[in-house]
Structures are given as structure tokens and as C-alpha cells.
Structure 1
């Protein structure tokens, strides 16, 4: 009986987080109340407070259980051995775009963190998590670009840090604009062209 009660409690918690995730993506974090979430999840507000002290705690739990596209790409490509650092960089960036396009859950959480969150004190964990994810990706890109420069694939005058920053700005801009209107352009096709153009531009400096 105790085990079933724990399982039911876990299922209720998951249903609350699922409902919150969908509502946050649809109408934004600040416009979503606990009552909205309770209604969508088919529970009472009391049930929400049994699991989470407030909306900030609920939001943090939702983000903690989520896997961002960048994290998923690292997991998928982490075991691959690619000798060419520029090809490795391209593969990683294209993997992020592919996950955003094809993994609805990952896309939804990324959209919440990027476009649907007002960074107030109660949801500041989103700002921290995004900053950490971006810093990690910029570091990965910078390492690949530095290795490429060391191998003579890029001119000595290319600054890996600055190039990685520019590359992230481009990718972030692509993702933001595509998320505003999923039908506006083919993210994979245009993203591949943009990445290839940028890398080609670095080579001819």
C-alpha cells in the first residue's frame, strides 16, 4: 500500500510538472498561475503545495528534470571520435538544431527558458542554468576552433574566443527567430548553410 501511495504521489508530481511545462510554453511563466496549472493537471492547488512550496520551486523542478538541446547533443555525440575539429564543431551545432526541430519536449523547455521566462527572483534558476549552458557551449566551440587553428585549418589571426562568441550569437539568433514562427524557414537547411558560410569565412581571413 505504501509503495502504491509513493507511486501515485510521483505520478501526481509528474502530471503537475507536465501541465506547468505546457502552460509556461503557451502563455509564459509570469502569466501562468498555480490555479491554471492545477486545473490543467486535474488536481487541487493543495496538491501542488504538497509537492512545491511555490511557483518558483515548481519552475526549478521542471527545469531540473528537463534536458536542454545542448545537453542532449553532448550526450549523443560525446562518444564519437572525430579527428577534424571543424567537422566536430559543425556536427555538434547541427545536432543542437536537429534536437530543437525533432524533440518537442526539449524544444518546449528551451523555448520557455529563452523566450517565455521573465527573469524575476523566484525563477532566477533559469537565468543561472542558461548562463551555464551557454558558457559550456562557447567553451566547446572555442576549444574546437583553437584546435583547428593549431592544426593550420584556420589562419593564426583568428581569435577562437571571439569566433566562438560570434558563432553562438548566430546560432542563438537562428533558434530564437525560428521559435517565433516554426514555418518561417527550414532550421536545419538554413542553419547548415549559415554554419558552413561562417566557417568558410574564418578560413579565408
Structure 2
């Protein structure tokens, strides 16, 4: 009985995260209420508070539900020892990120929510720094990989690892925004791999 109750609670939490994603995407975060999310999940508002103390905590749970497996997939390339050239690891990791974004509608929805459907004001003003933390973590990781490339002399002479990492971070962020805003039928998604390859080619020795 205890095990069944635990499984039911976990299932309810999962439904709430899925409902929150749907409501946030349709209504925008600021206009989404816990009542709307509870209704979409088919539970009471009390059930929402049983799992999450407020809307911000539910927002982070929704983000983590997508980010954790995404980071695991991209890090499998970025931190892999299968590449003799560290720049190949960065290129493969970024391509994997955009491949997942293109193939998984849930991932795309979460990024759309974070970038264009969330106003970081009122109760969300204090969480903006935390929302940007994954980007800072990504920057720190690729700086380390660029430093490895510099040490192995596969990074173009004269390039500073930190400045180069910031450039790649800005490129990746800009490409993400372009993709989320592009019209259906655009050829941009199909050109992403070659754009990433071109970006990395300018950094190779």
C-alpha cells in the first residue's frame, strides 16, 4: 500500500509538471495560475501545494525535467575522451543540443517558455539568476575544453580560451533564439549543422 501511494504521488507530480508546461506555454508564466495548472492536471489545488510550495518551484521542476537529460546527452560528447581534438567534442556537443531541440517538441516548448513566455518580475524576479545558471555552467565547461585545445595546440594561435568560449556561448544563444523565432518552412533548422561546423572551423589551428 505504501509503495502504491508513493508511485501514485510520483505520477501526480509528473502530471503536474506536464500540465504546468502546457499551461505556461499556452498562457505565459505570469498569467498562469496554480488553479489552471491543477485543472489541467485533473487534481485539486491542494495537490499542487503538496508537491510544490509555489509556482516558481513548479517552474524549476518543469525546467529540470528537460534540462537534466539534455545536459547528460550533451556532456556525453563534450566530456568524452573519444575525441583526440577537444574542438571536435565542443562541435559534437553543440550539434547534439540542437538535434534534441529539433527532434523533441517538449524540449522546444520549455525553451520557448523560458525565453519568450516568462516575465522575470514579481515572484519571478528573484529566480532570474538561477534560470541563467545552466548557461553559465555551459560557458565554464567549454572554456575548460578550449583551454585543453590550446594546450594541445589545436586551437588557432592567438585565441584566448575564455574569450573564445564566450564567443561560442553567444553564437549558441543567438542561434537558439533564431530557431525559436523562425517561421515554419524556414530552411534554418536544416542549416544548423553546417553553421556550427563553420563556427568551429574558424577556431581550429
Partner SS state of residue 32, structure 1: coil
Contact 1:100 1:107 in 2 (8 A): yes
Q: Residue 62 of structure 1 corresponds to which residue in structure 2?
A: 62
CA distance in 2, matches of 1:112, 1:135: 19
Matches within 5 A, 1:86-105: 86-105=87-106
Q: Deviations over 1:64-113 (max 9, x none)?
A: 43325751333432445211112111111111111111122222223322
Q: 1:61 to 1:151 in 2, by over 3 A?
A: closer
Question: Any unmatched runs of 5+ in structure 2?
Answer: none
CA distance in 2, matches of 1:79, 1:151: 16
Moved more, 93-102 or 122-131: 122-131
CA distance in 2, matches of 1:151, 1:25: 45
Contact 1:85 1:145 in 2 (8 A): yes
Q: Deviations over 1:13-46 (max 9, x none)?
A: 2211110012212332111111211221112223
Q: Give the alignment's TM-score, normalised by structure 1.
A: 0.83
CA distance in 2, matches of 1:177, 1:119: 21
CA distance in 2, matches of 1:33, 1:149: 50
Measured on the aligned residues, the alpha-carbon RMSD in Å equals: 2.5
Q: Give the alignment's TM-score, normalised by structure 2.
A: 0.83
Q: 1:126 to 1:69 in 2, by over 3 A?
A: farther
Contact 1:28 1:117 in 2 (8 A): yes
Matches within 5 A, 1:94-133: 94-120=95-121, 122-123=123-124, 127-133=128-134
The total of aligned residue pairs comes to: 203
Alignment partner of 1:197 is 2:194: no
Q: Residue 163 of structure 1 corresponds to which residue in structure 2?
A: 164
